[in-house]
Amino acid sequence: MKAPLASLTAAPLAEVAQALRRRAVSPVELVDAYQERIERTANLRAFITPPGQRARREAQRAKQQLARRGAGALLGVPIAIKDLFATRGVRTTAGSRILRDWVPSADAALVTRLRAAGAVLFGKTNLHEFAYGVTTANPWWGVARNPRDVRRSPGGSSGGSAIAVVAGLCAAALGSDTGGSIRIPASLCGCVGLKPTYGTLPLDGAVPLGWSLDHAGPLTRTVEDAGILFDALSGGRAWRQAQRVATRGLRVGLLHDSIVRPLQPGVSNQLEKAAAALRRHGLRVRDVRLPEMGWTVVTQLVTLRAEASAAHAQWIRARPRAYGRDVRIRLQLGALVAGADYVLAQRMRAKITQAVRGVFDDVDILLLPTTPITAPMVGERTVRWRTGAEPVDGALVRLTAPFNLTGVPALSIPYGEVSGLPVGLQVVGRWNDEARVLAVGRLIEALASR
Amino acid sequence: MTERDRLAAATRAAGLRLTAADLEALRPAWKRYLALVEELRATLAPETLSE
């Protein structure tokens, strides 16, 4: 029986893959259906390079493989790629003007893995220029818009990937995360985003931003999809293991430190609701303290500024006007970071990491909001709290950057809404414990829909 | 030496080519950066080297 295409474009990757294997839909029909939606939502600026005819040809090949009962967990599944990952024969801009004509001769390692799993590479998504910012207000490729409210920002830097997932323009997407760039847009747009343990997914062929902070990971409609895609990317079995994790009795820590204050009241309410629901399901929820987290902002700032400026050392000196204003200023400031300052930041980073390790002696999982606010208006620069003002950029990374510094896995899951805008909650686990993170994430996802 | 002169010297030493307007654009964030790093330095015990 044919699956209705309109419902499949909004369906989770797991369902799409199953429909393809059952041959209820062909990859070509699916690609055409997504393509038609992409054309209707061009105002969202989700793509820098839309899928086009190349994706249709890949879908034709996948159709033939499916007819021969070919293998591959993602056979025929259209996956959008953040335009930071090199794609053989397809322009890869990193959201910049500098790389606007770069056509790589080889795929990034993760793109190779997606191809090996049978995925149809489905266009290159918009991002903050060189992934150095969290709004995807891209001066060269268009200001990306939140599909839940086009007046609002989708977040970033993987804004295009989150838009493509939420607006039904692909089955799932690949993103990258240096200070929150997968989890922030996932939170603001209302999808799932996984930043795995540092080093789990190879970054060969990805345009670097901060070598010790960069992570790749999936953006998806469900936690199951994030698990499936993560396993395809890593070659591991985290999702299979997650399904065997008993969540009852797990110890969940709620942070009670200055870093989690202030929060938008609606965000705080959703966190409390989720904590209460987890208690009712037999998890042991308790307050924990991590005062060292208060040093995250300066530690991340010094580390990222120095590393990003090192990555851009030649271009920022030779072609400063080829960058947008915000990224140019950040990179120029990074060139002024002294070696001694970088060392100070790494000393503090070691302390933060040690404190996080200590907390995971007492709890199995940390639960906190992904972002303290719901999606801000496009161009909004300041969040006004009762206690004072905070830059929007700073607020958006406040709760995500600590886990780039420490490298532990962190998953953002939609949990409820405030005034029609999604709220994202973040589940954080021990190093390499993606299975438990995914298991608790799936439980929270199920509780959110009740 | 004024704060602006110090910033100009630092950018020259770093090999950056900046206009006067560029320097002005950097100044507020540079000041905030210096203050934050100073807090960080003050909170971490100095690494002492003995002869």
Quick check: is A63 catalytic? no
pLDDT confidence band for A259 (50 / 70 / 90): very high
Instruction: Give the model's pLDDT for residue A2.
Output: 65
Confidence category of residue B50, pLDDT binned at 50, 70, 90: low
Please identify which of the residues A26, A153, A181, A187 carries the catalytic annotation. Answer: A181
A243 contacts A223 by C-beta, under 8 angstroms: no
Complex prediction ipTM: 0.94
Distance from CA of B27 to the nearest CA of A (A): 9
pLDDT for A265 equals: 97
Amino acid at A174: L
> Using CA of residue A210, residue A382, residue A275, residue A294, what is the dihedral sign?
positive
pLDDT band for B6, please (50, 70, 90 cuts).
very high
* pLDDT tens string A99-120: 999 999 999 999 999 999 999 9
Q: Residue B36 is nearest to which of A301, A316, A347, comparing CB atoms? A: A301
Tell me whether the omega of the peptide bond preceding residue A262 falls within 30 degrees of 0, making it cis: yes
Residues of chain A above pLDDT 90, percent: 96
Average of per-residue pLDDT across B27-51: 88
Two structure tokens written together for A93 = 């801009």
Tell me whether residues A332 and B11 touch, CB distance under 8 A: yes
Residue of A nearest to B15 (CA): A317
**pLDDT, average across residues A216-227:** 98
Chain mean pLDDT for chain A: 97
Residue A27 token pair? 């990859």
Contact call for A297 and B36, based on CB within 8 A: yes
- pLDDT tier for residue B1 given thresholds of 50, 70 and 90: confident
Residues of B in contact with A297 (CB under 8 A): 36
Q: Which residues pair with A287 in a beta bridge?
A: A254
% of chain A residues with pLDDT over 70 = 99
Q: Is residue B17 scored above 90 in pLDDT?
A: no
Chain B residues contacting A via beta carbons under 8 Å: 10-11, 14-18, 22, 25-26, 29-30, 33, 36-37, 39-41, 43-44, 47
CA–centroid distance for A113 within its chain: 18
Predicted confidence at residue A3, as pLDDT, reads 64
CA-nearest residue to B17 within chain A is A317
- The closest CB to that of B30, out of A299, A325, A333, belongs to A333
Mean pLDDT is lowest, of A5-9, A36-40, A167-171, for A5-9
Q: Using the beta-carbon criterion (under 8 Å), do B30 and A295 form an inter-chain contact?
A: no
pLDDT for the residue numbered A147: 98
Q: Percentage of chain B surpassing pLDDT 70?
A: 92
Contacts of B37 in chain A (CB under 8 A): 298, 302, 341, 344
Asked whether the predicted pLDDT for residue A210 surpasses 90, the reply is yes
Please indicate whether residue A181 is annotated as part of the active site. yes
Q: What is the count of residue pairs from A and B with beta carbons less than 8 Å apart?
A: 56
Mean pLDDT of A126-155: 98
Please say if A195 is a catalytic residue.
no
pLDDT confidence band for A70 (50 / 70 / 90): confident
Long-range CB pairs of A4-8, under 8 A, 24+ apart, other chains included:
A5/A29, A5/A30, A5/A33, A6/A33, A8/A33
CB of A447 within 8 Å of any CB in chain B?
no
Residue A1 has pLDDT above 60, yes or no: no
Least confident range from A65-74, A333-342, A385-394, B40-49: namely B40-49
pLDDT of residue A79: 98
- The whole-number average pLDDT for the span A285-305 is 96
Residue B51 has pLDDT above 90, yes or no: no
Q: Among A160, A200, A198, A204, which residue's Cα sits nearest to residue A303?
A: A198
Segment A130-138 shows an average pLDDT of: 98
Q: Do B37 and A316 touch (CB under 8 A)?
A: no
| Contact call for B17 and A317, based on CB within 8 A | yes
Region A324-346: mean pLDDT is 97
The whole model's pTM is what? 0.97
Q: Does A382 touch chain B (CB under 8 A)?
A: no
Selection from A423, A419, A400 nearest residue A151 by Cα: A419
Cα distance between residue B3 and residue A263, in whole Å: 36
List, as one string, the DSSP characters of A267-316.
Answer: HHHHHHHHHHHHHHTT-EEEEE--GGGGGHHHHHHHHHHHHHHHHTHHHH
B17/A320 Cβ within 8 A? yes
Q: Between chains, do B36 and A298 touch, taking CB under 8 Å as contact?
A: yes
Q: Do A347 and B44 touch (CB under 8 A)?
A: yes
Residues of A in contact with B16 (CB under 8 A): 316-317, 320, 332, 335
H or E, element range at A176: strand A172-177
